[in-house]
Structure 1
Amino acid sequence: MEVLKFILQKEFRQIFRDKIILAMMFVMPTVQLIIMPFAANFEVKNINVAYVDNDHSSYSQRLIEKIAASGYFKIVSSPQSYKEGLKMIEKGDADLVLEIPLGFERNLVREGLQEVNMAVDAINGTKSSLGGAYLTNVIADFNSNLDVNIKASKSVVPGQAATIEIANSNWYNPHAEYKYYMVPGILVLLLTMIGGFITALNIVKEKEIGTIEQINVTPIKKWQFILGKLIPFWIVGMIVFTVGMIVMYIVYGIFPEGSLLLLYLFAAVYLIALLGLGLLISTLADTQLQAMFIAYFFMMVFMLMSGFFTSTDSMPGWARIISQCTPVTHFITVVRLIVLKGSSFQEVKLELLYLIGFAFLLNSLAIYNYRKTA
């Protein structure tokens, strides 16, 4: 521990000596977190729909077939009751629940008016707003193409076409605002960039200035050296995460619905995994330029395949597999669930196991790959 203490002193002195690095670690993420949520636009597909058909008529079946044929929706289930449909939303098995009431066809034919109920899982702002809008448009199109016999029916008031009115509600994000979906994801990506880029340049910087040779001839063990490099940036990362949480609350009014302690537990494990990746890159590269390019490659993969910009459900099968093999995908999922939905440990414990696995694997590889010549 005495050896580790001296390594930590050296690392903290190097961090606070470089004012540019300090600005990159604290000022840039704060500014980006304030600006970036205002620049986002999405299109989603494969929106999971569960429908509750209480009418079981030819018209209700035609409506379901039209929804399935639209290209945006995937019919996943037909629960027996609206309450069962809401449970599917709570479990994440469905994004939308459409309830067709009893007497759907009869009321359309006789009175030319019928309401349907739509519940939306608004924890995903993209799917809630766009998915709800897509479904509304599909129903409106169905309404405009109702059978001519209905529109010509004597029971319909002259000059009035048969219409369907929709009553919907957004769960976990009542106003369907993008910021509630975007801000937690951006915070994760900024934390990823700090953890990945800065540590990727750390060991390779020692190589370039020649101090690595002095360290290699000391009796420092490999795990002590890697741990001494990891701990300072882990502390910095946790501070950056805290600053991001404060910005998220002050600027956007977002406060976690779930446990802050659980959120920090995941952040701590996730940072260990990301710092392990950065240190592994640093042991592989010979120059800071090489380390930057390698880190940039991984950061781009993380950003584009994490489910932040596009839903992982809209990706092809091979892309979803790659997405699940990146730690950032699991952390973004967890942050959104805890912040917006208030999920408990039981609901996200599998994601924690994934992150622990990534942390163990990446740091083990970093320790193994560090070539010490003492």
Structure 2
Amino acid sequence: MILRYLIEKEFKQLIRNSFLPRLILIFPCMIMLVMPWAATLEIEDLRIAIIDNDHTPSSLRLTHRIESSPYFKLVALPDTYHKAVECIERNQADMLLEIPKGFEKEQVNGRPASALVAINAVNGTKGGLGNTYLQQILNPQSTSVTSIRYRFNLHLDYKTFMVPALMTMLLVMLCGFLPALNVVGEKEAGTIEQINVTPVSRFTFTLSKLLPYWLIGFIVLNLCMLLAWAVYGLTPVGSIFTIYLATLIFVLVMSGLGLVISNYSSTMQQAMFVMWFCMLIFILMSGLFTPISSMPDWAQYITYINPLRYFMEMMRMVYLKGSGIGDIVQQLCVLSCFATILYGWAIHSYRKQQ
């Protein structure tokens, strides 16, 4: 009965705050509508300058193939290599291709024809991908020797890869930040003293703080899945109940961490900075933007204590590959351990001042 009244109090405080209900609804919409288009590693419209020293049908066809590619934008046809380099130095082009004289003759004679490629590699990712795209066009055997079939992301759309990950990021931010500000907010307002003089146990008090964020987490998750279907045509390949189970445990992990931070913080500003630090580490070390396998060995070891890593893996496996509970049981067990530790820590760290 006491737990019921405490939960009712939490929801009344949430509704009376005119900002938080709007944040819970508007923030996921903005992230889901903007971030998949902005947070992408796809490189398109690479500006290229082509120096054609051969002036033959073969070199002309090569120029047309590059120009018709969605990855390249032909910006100049300079006469000399020096003029093409100036285009790169003036930031008018990202790369150049020099077709040497005798290019067609080498091909007719059955010998490999060479060409010079120079790339602005200030942005290493952009330069590397640009070189890969161009090599696929320059190599006439690339499409006749190998048959490639893409699974789980048929059209290589980076948004398909990012949308499930952004759902996890939203749960971290909302279900982590809001509990982190909850208890310390009551400390600053003085209302925590009224709870301290009641016979409410630490377990009941902590549980009443966590349950509302379970509900908020599921509201955010369902809103994100609705937007993913309506805007991007992306629906879970696996069972939605598997996603709910993983979310149930993960929200407990993040809200438990938020309450631990709130219990140890004296001001809302202190809680915000500590939670922001944790959130940055979680997001950057989770594989959200860069694969964990590409990180140094010492960084990969750190990711094992990052709960977001496991939830990110589960979301992508279930959402894109159709994995079941048996495929993600290891991640579920690890998250359950995190949830147990953090919930117990949140109970222990809450000190009632009689």
Answer yes or no: is 1:25 the counterpart of 2:24: yes
Q: Give the Cα–Cα distance (whole angstroms) in 2 for the partners of residues 314 and 265 of structure 1.
A: 29
Answer yes or no: is 1:219 the counterpart of 2:199: yes
Answer yes or no: is 1:184 the counterpart of 2:164: yes
Deviations 1:30-85 (A, max 9, x none): 12111110012439xxxxxxxxxxxxxxxxxxxxxxxxxxxxxxxxxxxxxxxxxx
Q: Give the Cα–Cα distance (whole angstroms) in 2 for the partners of residues 212 and 348 of structure 1.
A: 40
Provide the residue aligned with 1:371 in structure 2: 351
Judged with a 3 Å threshold, the aligned counterparts in structure 2 of structure 1 residues 169 and 191 are, in CA distance, closer, same or farther, namely: same
4+ residue runs over 4 A deviation: 130-141
Task: Report how far residue 29 of structure 1 moved.
Answer: 1.3
Counterparts of residues 49-68 of structure 1 (less than 5 Å):
none
Aligned with residue 348 of structure 1, among 316, 325, 328: 328
Query: Would you say the 8 A contact 1:30–1:244 is kept in 2?
Result: yes
Task: Report how far residue 299 of structure 1 moved.
Answer: 0.7
Answer yes or no: is 1:265 the counterpart of 2:245: yes
Provide the residue aligned with 1:235 in structure 2: 215
Q: Normalising by structure 1, report the TM-score.
A: 0.69
Q: Match of 1:26, SS?
A: helix
AA at the equivalent of 1:8: I
Judged with a 3 Å threshold, the aligned counterparts in structure 2 of structure 1 residues 353 and 134 are, in CA distance, closer, same or farther, namely: farther
Q: Match of 1:168, SS?
A: coil
Q: Match of 1:19, SS?
A: coil
Q: Give the Cα–Cα distance (whole angstroms) in 2 for the partners of residues 261 and 215 of structure 1.
A: 36
Query: Would you say the 8 A contact 1:112–1:163 is kept in 2?
Result: no
Q: Give the Cα–Cα distance (whole angstroms) in 1 for the partners of residues 234 and 5 of structure 2.
A: 40
Deviations 1:149-204 (A, max 9, x none): xxxxxxxxxxxxx8453321111111110111011101110111001111100000
- Amino-acid identity (%): 38
Answer yes or no: is 1:39 the counterpart of 2:19: no
Query: Would you say the 8 A contact 1:196–1:295 is kept in 2?
Result: yes
Answer yes or no: is 1:15 the counterpart of 2:14: yes
Provide the residue aligned with 1:194 in structure 2: 174
Task: Report how far residue 139 of structure 1 moved.
Answer: 7.9
Aligned with residue 298 of structure 1, among 278, 284, 288: 278
Query: Would you say the 8 A contact 2:175–2:216 is kept in 1?
Result: no
Q: Normalising by structure 2, report the TM-score.
A: 0.72
Q: Give the Cα–Cα distance (whole angstroms) in 2 for the partners of residues 205 and 187 of structure 1.
A: 27
Deviations 1:249-280 (A, max 9, x none): 11111000000111111011110111000101
Q: Give the Cα–Cα distance (whole angstroms) in 2 for the partners of residues 131 and 228 of structure 1.
A: 52
Task: Report how far residue 23 of structure 1 moved.
Answer: 1.2
Deviations 1:128-162 (A, max 9, x none): xx999987877888x6xxxxxxxxxxxxxxxxxx8
Deviations 1:183-236 (A, max 9, x none): 110111011100111110000001001111111111110011000011011111
- Pairwise CA RMSD of aligned residues? 2.7
Task: Report how far residue 19 of structure 1 moved.
Answer: 1.4
Provide the residue aligned with 2:262 in structure 1: 282
Query: Would you say the 8 A contact 1:278–1:295 is kept in 2?
Result: yes
Judged with a 3 Å threshold, the aligned counterparts in structure 2 of structure 1 residues 340 and 134 are, in CA distance, closer, same or farther, namely: farther
- Structure 2 spans left out of the alignment, 5+ residues: 43-109, 113-126
Query: Would you say the 8 A contact 2:28–2:223 is kept in 1?
Result: no
Q: Give the Cα–Cα distance (whole angstroms) in 2 for the partners of residues 281 and 251 of structure 1.
A: 36
Judged with a 3 Å threshold, the aligned counterparts in structure 2 of structure 1 residues 209 and 357 are, in CA distance, closer, same or farther, namely: same
Deviations 1:298-352 (A, max 9, x none): 1111111110011101101111111121111111110111011001111111010
Q: Give the Cα–Cα distance (whole angstroms) in 2 for the partners of residues 289 and 13 of structure 1.
A: 24
Q: Give the Cα–Cα distance (whole angstroms) in 2 for the partners of residues 27 and 39 of structure 1.
A: 18
Aligned with residue 338 of structure 1, among 311, 318, 336: 318
Query: Would you say the 8 A contact 1:42–1:310 is kept in 2?
Result: no
AA at the equivalent of 2:36: P
Q: Give the Cα–Cα distance (whole angstroms) in 1 for the partners of residues 111 and 150 of structure 2.
A: 27
Provide the residue aligned with 2:292 in structure 1: 312
Task: Report how far residue 112 of structure 1 moved.
Answer: 8.9
